[in-house]
Amino acid sequence: MEFIEYQDKDKQICRINIFDDGNQKLKDKYDNIWLIIGTNNKGKFRLQNIIDSEFILPSISAWKVELLDLCNF
pLDDT for residue 73? 53
Q: What is the average pLDDT score of the chain? A: 92
pLDDT for residue 35? 97
What span, in angstroms and rounded, lies between the C-alpha atoms of 5 and 54? 16
Residues 25-49 pLDDT 10s: 999 899 999 999 999 989 999 999 9
Per-residue confidence at 1, pLDDT binned at 50, 70, 90?
low
pLDDT for residue 45? 97
**Which DSSP string do the residues of 10-38 spell out, in sequence order?**
G-EEEEES---TT-HHHHHHS-S-EEEEE
Average pLDDT over residues 63-71: 88
